[in-house]
C-alpha cells in the first residue's frame, strides 16, 4: 500500500478529530445557551467565551472535507452524494448558527435576543447531530454499489448507526462544552457548567462509547483498537473525577481525551476501509482503491507541510490571547449602537 495514502488517511482522521474537539465545545455552548440559563447576561457570557474562536474552529470542517476530495475523491464522492440530505441540513445549521451569533446583539430587545438564542442553539444541535451521523455512517457503512452509488432513496442513510452517531456528537459537545464553560467563564455560568459536568456529562458521553463499541465489533478490531477504546473510557472517568474535585482544566482535558481516543479507536478499527458497503464487502471503498496517484499525494503533502504549521500557530496564538475568563462584570448592559453612516448623517443635519 502506498505510504502517502496511509499518511493522508491518518491526516484526515486527525482533521476530523480536531473538528470534534474544537468545534465540539462551541457547538455545545450554543446548545447550553437555550436551557442552562434564562439570564440574558449569562447567555452573553457564554457567547463571549467562544466569540474569538468559533469561526476559526469551523475551518477544521472545511479542511477535513477538502482533504477527502484532494486525497480520496471516490470516498468524497460516495459519502457526500449518499448523504446530501443530512449534509444540507448540517449546512443550514451552520448558516443559521453563524447568522445568529452575528445578529444577536444588533437589536437591544428581549424578543430579538431570545429568537437568535434559539437559532444559535438549534443550529448548533443540527450541526452536531448531522455531522455525527455522517461520521458514524462512514465508519459502519452505507448501501453503496460497485460504482460507489447509493442504493435506495434519499433517506436510505436513516438508520440506527446514524442516530447513535448523531446523539454521540451532540452528547459529547454538551459534556465537552460544560467543562469549557467551567474553565472559561466565571460567576453563575461557571457554577452551573461545573454542576452539569458532574451530574449529566457521563450520560451525555454514553452514546459516544456505544458508537465506539459498535465500530470495534463491526470491523473485528484487534487488541490495539480495543486498547484505545478502553483509553477513551478511562479518560472520561478521569474527567468526571476531576470535575467532581473542581479541577476544571483537568476535567476539560479528560473529557477531550474521550473524544480524542474515541475517534482514534474508530479510525483504527476502520483501516484500511474508508467507507464500508452494507450490500457487499466487495464494494467497500478502501485506502488502496480510493487514493490518488503518488504524484498528487506528494504535491498535497508538500503544500500541507508549509501551510499547516502557519495555521496551527495562528490558531494557538488566538487561543492564547483570549485565554482569560469571561466574567459577568465584563458584559455591558444591552444598548443600541448607531451605525457610523447614520451618525455621520445625523451630525450633518445638526450642522
Give the pLDDT confidence of 287-304 residue by residue, as tens digits: 999 999 899 999 999 989
- The SS3 call for residue 285 is strand
State how far the Cα of 17 lies from the Cα of 180, in Å rounded to an integer. Answer: 17
- Separation between Cα atoms, residue 144 and residue 152, nearest integer Å: 9
Q: What is the pLDDT of residues 7-64, one digit of tens each?
A: 999 999 999 999 999 999 999 999 999 999 888 999 999 999 998 899 889 889 999 9
170-207 pLDDT per residue, tens:
999 999 999 999 999 999 999 999 999 999 999 999 99
Peptide bond into 272 cis (omega under 30): yes
Q: Give the pLDDT score at 308.
A: 86
Question: What cell was used for 333?
Answer: 448592559
Tell me, what's the pLDDT at 146? 85
Average pLDDT of every residue of the chain? 90
Q: State the CB neighbour count (10 A cutoff) for residue 309.
A: 10
73-80, long-range: CB within 8 Å, 24+ apart, which pairs?
Answer: 73/290, 73/292, 74/148, 74/285, 74/289, 74/290, 75/138, 75/274, 75/275, 75/285, 75/290, 77/148, 78/142, 78/144, 78/148, 78/149, 78/150, 78/275, 78/285, 79/134, 79/137, 79/138, 79/142, 79/275
Q: Determine the pLDDT at residue 152.
A: 83
- Give pLDDT tens digits for 70-91: 999 999 999 888 899 999 999 9
pLDDT at 343 over 60: no
Amino acid at each position: 500500500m502506498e505510504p502517502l495514502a496511509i499518511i493522508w488517511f491518518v491526516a484526515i482522521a486527525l482533521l476530523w478529530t480536531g473538528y470534534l474537539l474544537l468545534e465540539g465545545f462551541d457547538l455545545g455552548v450554543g446548545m447550553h445557551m437555550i436551557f442552562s440559563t434564562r439570564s440574558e447576561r449569562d447567555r452573553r457570557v457564554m457567547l463571549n467565551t467562544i466569540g474569538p474562536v468559533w469561526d476559526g474552529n469551523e475551518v477544521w470542517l472545511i479542511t477535513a472535507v477538502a482533504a477527502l476530495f484532494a486525497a480520496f475523491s471516490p470516498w468524497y464522492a460516495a459519502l457526500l452524494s449518499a448523504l446530501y440530505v443530512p449534509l444540507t441540513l448540517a449546512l443550514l445549521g451552520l448558516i443559521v448558527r453563524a447568522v445568529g451569533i452575528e445578529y444577536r446583539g444588533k437589536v437591544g430587545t428581549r424578543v430579538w435576543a431570545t429568537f437568535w438564542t434559539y437559532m444559535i442553539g438549534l443550529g448548533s444541535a443540527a450541526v452536531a447531530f448531522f455531522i455525527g451521523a455522517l461520521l458514524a455512517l462512514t465508519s459502519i457503512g452505507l448501501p453503496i454499489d460497485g460504482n460507489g452509488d447509493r442504493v435506495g432513496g434519499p433517506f436510505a442513510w436513516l438508520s440506527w448507526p446514524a442516530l447513535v452517531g448523531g446523539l454521540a456528537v451532540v452528547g459529547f459537545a454538551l459534556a465537552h462544552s460544560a467543562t469549557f464553560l467551567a474553565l472559561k467563564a466565571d460567576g453563575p455560568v461557571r457554577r452551573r457548567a461545573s454542576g452539569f459536568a458532574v451530574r449529566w456529562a457521563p450520560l451525555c458521553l454514553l452514546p459516544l462509547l456505544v458508537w465506539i463499541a459498535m465500530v470495534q465489533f463491526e470491523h473485528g478490531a484487534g487488541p490495539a483498537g480495543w486498547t484505545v477504546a478502553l483509553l477513551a473510557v478511562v479518560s472520561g472517568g478521569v474527567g468526571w473525577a476531576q470535575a467532581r474535585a473542581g479541577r476544571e482544566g483537568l476535567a476539560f482535558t479528560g473529557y477531550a481525551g474521550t473524544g480524542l481516543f474515541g475517534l482514534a479507536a474508530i479510525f483504527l478499527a476502520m483501516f484500511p476501509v474508508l467507507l464500508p458497503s452494507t450490500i457487499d464487502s466487495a464494494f467497500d471503498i478502501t485506502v488502496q482503491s480510493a487514493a490518488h496517484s503518488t504524484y498528487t499525494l506528494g504535491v498535497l503533502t508538500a503544500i500541507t507541510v508549509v501551510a499547516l504549521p502557519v495555521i496551527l500557530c495562528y490558531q494557538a496564538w488566538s487561543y492564547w490571547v483570549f485565554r482569560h475568563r469571561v466574567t459577568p462584570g465584563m458584559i455591558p448592559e444591552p444598548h443600541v449602537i448607531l451605525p457610523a453612516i447614520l451618525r455621520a448623517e445625523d451630525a450633518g443635519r445638526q450642522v
